Chains A and B, each alone.
Chain A
């Protein structure tokens, strides 16, 4: 599954969801198609879901809400683990991704 625009691309490979580019969508409704792709991965109940954000240069607060909402949905399913991969060279990730871990302490966060 894949959503691709001039600004960003989101695609899945098995239970890994990749994000790339700049996401500044206007709100919950605009992010709904992306949440749908993420839900499809969760519905298969894999042991581990990986969110690969290492190429996501910019995410606005509505997008942070999307990641947080999905983290809460995973939290409701203790048999599904989650790992978030970030990059030190992308400033928003070191500032905001730790909130996901505060929401779901079992979430594995690697920013390298």
Chain B
């Protein structure tokens, strides 16, 4: 069974510049550090493929921020296994799909969170979440990654949960796209 949330359609076609890589769970011992080096590398790679009409400094940063935030979530919430990153650029549209495995309990909690996230204006939700975080000093995560992407970067995000593609848990594909300018 596949359950989709948000925008899960990819628009980049056959003419897109593409780069795919897999962060292997073994023997790499995937860790927090890999988010930064991977996102910086892909930001640099795609900013060099941009057309002249696109601000390469802004593109490098925006791509790097987006991949870093989604990878941080994948590292934090994955249920073992590799993390696959498929990225593409066509014209002004940069797209990524990040695939990792999650356990059923994490998937349930995340789906409930996504329903709330998709119902409201992200800028308002961002400020609400910041105020809530300030009142809860014990909460370890900020929950601002997806909200800043939607509110500050205008990113389109989607999530697809597939329960039959992996032997244990669910396969989560996070879709994200940015319009570079």
Contact partners of A46 in chain B: CB under 8 A: none
Contact mask B128-157 → A, CB, 8 Å, 1/0? 001101100101111011011001110000
In the complex, A99→B69 CA distance in Å? 18
Question: Looking at the complex, which one of B61, B68, B140, B151 makes contact with A60 (CB distance below 8 Å)?
Answer: B68
Report the minimal beta-carbon distance from B125 to chain A, rounded to whole angstroms: 12
Contact (Cβ within 8 A) B141 A89: no
Q: Does A65 sit at the interface, judged by CB under 8 A?
A: yes
Q: How large is the interface on B (under 10, 10 to 19, 20 to 34, 35 or more residues)?
A: 20 to 34
Q: Is B72 interfacial (CB-CB < 8 Å)?
A: yes
Whether the Cβ atoms of A96 and B141 lie closer than 8 Å is: no
Q: Which of A24, A27, A72, A91 contacts B141 (CB 8 A)?
A: A27
Contact: A68 with B130, CB < 8 Å? Answer: yes
Main secondary structure of the interface of A (DSSP, over half): helix
* SS class, residues of chain B in contact with chain A: helix
What number of residue pairs across chains A and B have CB atoms under 8 A from each other?
75
Which chain B residues in 47-105 approach chain A with CB under 8 Å? 57-58, 61-62, 64-65, 68-69, 72, 76
| A31 vs chain B, min Cβ distance (A) | 9
Find the A residue at minimum CB distance from B32. A26
Closest residue of chain B to A65, judged by CB?
B142
Question: With A and B bound together, what is the CA distance between A92 and B65 in angstroms?
Answer: 8
- Count of residues in A whose CB is under 8 Å from the partner chain: 25
Closest to B135 in A: A72
* Chain B residue contacts of A65, Cβ below 8 A: 130, 133, 142, 144
Question: Which residues of chain A are near B36, meaning CB under 8 Å?
Answer: 22, 24
Residues of A contacting B65 in the complex (Cβ-Cβ under 8 angstroms): 58, 60, 92
Q: Contacts A27-B140, A60-B69 given; indicate if A91 touches B62 (C-beta within 8 A).
A: yes
